Amino acid sequence: MKTKKRTTIYDIAEKLNITASSVSRALNNRNYVNEATKQLILKTAAELNYKRNILASNLRMGKTKTIGVVVPRINQNFFSNVIVGLEDATYQQGYNLIICQSNESHEKEIQCINTLINQHVDCIVISVSVDSNDYSHLQNVIDHGIQLIQFDRIIDELETLKVINDNEQASMEAVSHLIEQGYKRIALLEGPQGLAIFSQRKAGYLKALKKYHIAQESELIIENAWTKELGAQATRKLLSLPNPPDAIFASTSDFSALGVLEVANAMNIKVPTQLGICGYANEPFTELTTPSITTIDQFSVYMGKTIANLYFQENENKEVVITPKTISIMPKLIVRSSTIKKG
Amino acid sequence: MKTKKRTTIYDIAEKLNITASSVSRALNNRNYVNEATKQLILKTAAELNYKRNILASNLRMGKTKTIGVVVPRINQNFFSNVIVGLEDATYQQGYNLIICQSNESHEKEIQCINTLINQHVDCIVISVSVDSNDYSHLQNVIDHGIQLIQFDRIIDELETLKVINDNEQASMEAVSHLIEQGYKRIALLEGPQGLAIFSQRKAGYLKALKKYHIAQESELIIENAWTKELGAQATRKLLSLPNPPDAIFASTSDFSALGVLEVANAMNIKVPTQLGICGYANEPFTELTTPSITTIDQFSVYMGKTIANLYFQENENKEVVITPKTISIMPKLIVRSSTIKKG
DNA sequence: TTTACAAAAGCAATCGATTGTCGAAATTTA
DNA sequence: TAAATTTCGACAATCGATTGCTTTTGTAAA
């Protein structure tokens, strides 16, 4: 395996009988280089197929033009779409992405963070895992002078840049939609309340009930039903109540909504006439089920782009541009068959 | 933003009144360090919370313990699953993943490759974009002494490590299954034949026809129908033939199979009784459609792990282990409702 | 012609970790 | 006890790019 020897600034310097410092300055378009020699250097660099050695540059500068991303799962549609958006925007700026998945484990998340700190990434973008119980590892990121950006699943107390969805509002709209469609008893499948996104969605649910003067009933609120299996389980429980709900808002995810739908189908309960179902996240499958599932789109790719832009605005711009610390994106209710009761 | 000054081997050396070289050797568990001093060094390193500066190490060693991944799209289920498998296996070995997407563009693919070469990654894992017309950029990777591993969509002529599916065999089994279910006229939606995976699937289709003594009819083979829209378009054309097919094998992807299904539904053609449909890739949605779609599972996560292991076996092991250059994974036919004609 | 000043280029240190070479000390062998 | 061999650790160079400081060169003003 014969490896081409890469040309260095010293090779260029030697060839032109000047010093490496001048070459460096010319390549970086700094002052104190004669225009003529600069052109000569650039020309020679091109001829010798010079490529800056990023490893050397990284060491010297202490910057890596690399952004670390930590998500619970790479292959979850929402996250992979955020990554798509991130990759797109950062690539254009010559940045690279190092991607880690926490697998919803706090332990692994800490390891990922430490790895990224060790890698001297310039920025860490994270959506915390569900069992994140403290955030000293994130504080550690900040202490290392690394820009930290939280998105979606954020820890509110931590003062960082944040890109989120307006979960409460979206949730309220979804529930309002259900009420307006004539559903009377609306159940809520809620996620681990330790995560703000889930408690916000619950708040939106309660707000909608209040707005329409509907009493909240605790038997209709099922804790911790955030996977397909747990959603199915919760649905069985709900539908066997003496006074069962006529709609279920799976505020945790489309997967739990899918669990609801499958149980309804198995029990031969008609959707949407006997039971309305609303999910969350606009997973691609929601428009393919029968009936298709009403859900909430989070503009995930756009979210990724927004995160990237936030970073660049905050760190690259020389002019003093005041950027907001938190950007909230308004999700959109996608009404499909599973909740259309009225013609 | 106050940044902690990281401790270096010089700090440790100074504190213990020895030289940095000894510290380095101790930390790397090399010879020529007294056991006692080694222990002292390790202890002091721990006390001072020493972390090796990877940037310096990378420069010196010319290795980065980083693997670059180039895929057409990150958010395509197959690819994100391969990445999951890769991440999992490489993370355990202390390797990091830099991820790029080519967006099915040859241009962008070349750019990605160049970026990764510049980043001095130790290995590049790639599934080429559909319009890859030459492979000088991949040759370039090899010339730089970087390990190259192709997977799924490979360029056969290029001698690299390869991890693929046995597309021909899987395809043949799928078509055989259709025939055994009693379908007589089986159409094929084929992908760009420039990619081996697609020509292999076509070969499998033809092989199955031959095996069952069924004449191949060119009007039943539709070129370049590899997206949902193109699949739908092809289906409209096929179903309006004087003698239309009674089954369609969307060998390109489940997305094109979905296009077939939607057109069939729209034309009120019953699946599977009037039309059998088989897709490829086992996208999650295939079990959610009505009817659910028969497809082929590629063991994508396992594929990712296999790629990682192949790399480690080829590069890390000191003992001479002879590893195969190409690993072919046998995909599995997943029979679902869309092709079950016989009880 | 001399002085002043700015532009251009060189020098050398730096970013930390790694490693070949060499001398000193410790241990073994004759 | 002397000679031979190991073991240990120090020294210094190296990986390339960057940059503060200094020197040289060139031009304009006095």
Rounded to an integer, what is the distance from CA A205 to the centroid of its chain?
23
What sign has the CA pseudo-torsion B71, B73, B78, B83? positive
The alpha helices in B62-150, defined as continuous H runs, are 77-92, 106-118, 136-143
Predicted confidence (pLDDT) at residue B343 exceeds the cutoff of 70: no
Residue that wins the pLDDT comparison between B183 and B284: B183
Please give the order of strands across the beta sheet that includes B221-222. Answer: B221-222, B186-189, B247-250, B276-278
**Coil, strand or helix: which one is A126?**
strand
- At B218-270, the pLDDT tens digits run 999 999 999 999 999 999 999 999 999 999 999 999 999 999 999 999 999 99
Tens-digit pLDDT profile for residues B84-138: 999 999 999 999 999 999 999 999 999 999 999 999 999 999 999 988 778 999 9
Q: Which of B60, B71, B80 to mutate to test the interface with A (most CBs of A within 10 A)?
A: B80
Give percent of chain B above pLDDT 70. Answer: 97
- Work out if B19's Cβ lies within 7 angstroms of strand D: yes
Whole-angstrom distance, CA of residue A154 vs CA of residue A140: 16
Confidence band of B29 (pLDDT split at 50, 70, 90): confident
Q: Check if the beta carbon of residue B174 is closer than 8 Å to that of residue B249.
A: yes
Residue extents of the structural domains in chain A: 9-52, 63-165+300-329, 167-297+333-339
Within A181-320, where are the H helices? 196-211, 228-239, 254-266, 300-315
**d(C-alpha A73, C-alpha A104), whole Å:** 7
Token pair listed for A274: 């006997």
3-state class (DSSP) for residue A242: coil
Nearest CA-CA partner of B239 in B202, B204, B265:
B265
Q: Name every residue whose Cβ is closer than 8 Å to that of residue B186 and which is 6 or more positions away in sequence.
A: B175, B178, B179, B205, B209, B214, B220, B245, B246, B247, B248, B249, B276
Q: How far is A312 from chain B (nearest CA, A)?
A: 17
Report the DSSP beta bridge partners of residue A187.
A248
- For an interface test with B, give the residue of A7, A50, A53, A80 to mutate (most B CBs within 10 A): A80
Residue B35 pLDDT grade (very low, low, confident, very high; cuts 50, 70, 90)? confident
Phi then psi for residue B285, to 5 deg, are -70, -20
CA A168 to chain centre: 17
Which CATH number, 3.40.50.2300, 3.40.630.30, 3.40.930.10, 3.40.50.300, labels domain A167-297+333-339? 3.40.50.2300
- Packing angle of the helix pair A20-27, A35-47 (nearest 10 deg): 90
What tokens were used for B294? 């028969």
DSSP structure string for A202-220: HHHHHHHHHHTT----GGG
State what percent of residues in chain B have pLDDT above 90: 83
CA distance B44 to B48: 6
The answer, for B7 touching chain A at a CB cutoff of 8 Å, is no
Residues 6+ apart with CB under 8 A from B224: B190, B191, B192, B230
Residue A219: partners with Cβ closer than 8 Å, 6 or more residues away = A241
Cβ pairs A/B, distance under 8 A:
116
Q: What pLDDT does residue B4 have?
A: 53
Place of tokens 């391969």: B82
State the Cα–Cα distance between residues A71 and A83, nearest whole angstrom.
9
CATH topology agreement for domains A9-52 and A63-165+300-329: no
**Which has the closest alpha carbon to B336: B284, B277, B268, B261?**
B277
CATH number of B9-52: 1.10.260
Q: Which tens digits make up the pLDDT trace of A81-92?
A: 999 999 999 999
Query: What pLDDT does A2 receive?
Result: 39
Residue from the list A56, A77, A99 with its beta carbon closest to the beta carbon of B97: A99
Tell me the two tokens of residue A78.
């929402």
Q: Which of residues 50-79 of A touch strand D (CB under 7 A)?
A: 50, 52-53, 56-57, 59-61
* Tokens 């309305």, residue located: A276
What would the pLDDT profile of B299-337 be if each residue is shown by its tens digit?
999 999 999 999 999 886 655 667 778 999 999 999 999
Read off the pTM.
Answer: 0.91
The separation, in Å, between residue B327 CA and nucleotide C19 C1' comes to 38
- pLDDT number for residue B133: 79
Q: In the CATH hierarchy, which top-level class contains the domain B63-165+300-329? A: alpha beta
Beta-carbon count within 10 A of B155 CB: 17
The pLDDT of B48-52, averaged and rounded, is: 93
**Which of B74, B96, B98 is facing A80, going by the closest CB pair?**
B74
Asked whether A84 and A41 are in contact (CB, 8 A), the reply is no
DSSP state of A131: T
Q: Which helix (H) or strand (E) holds B209?
A: helix B196-211
CB-contacted nucleotides of strand C (7 Å)? 7-12, 14-21
Mean pLDDT over residues B291-295, rounded? 96
- The helix (run of H) or strand (run of E) holding residue A299 is none
Burial profile B300-325: b = 16 or more Cβ within 10 angstroms, e = fewer: bbebbbbbbbbbbebeeeeeeeeeee
Beta-carbon separation of A144 and B3 below 8 A: yes
Q: Quote the strand ranges of chain A, DSSP E.
A: 66-71, 96-101, 123-126, 147-151, 161-165, 186-189, 221-222, 247-250, 276-278, 295-297, 326-329, 332-334
**B292 touches B266 (CB < 8 A):** no
**What's the Cα-to-Cα distance from B104 to each of A185, B90, B111, B140, B230, rounded to whole Å?**
48, 25, 12, 20, 16
Distance CA B72, CA B15 (A): 52
The more confidently predicted of residues B75 and A338 is A338
Supply the DSSP symbol for A294. Answer: B
Residues of chain A with pLDDT under 50: 1-3
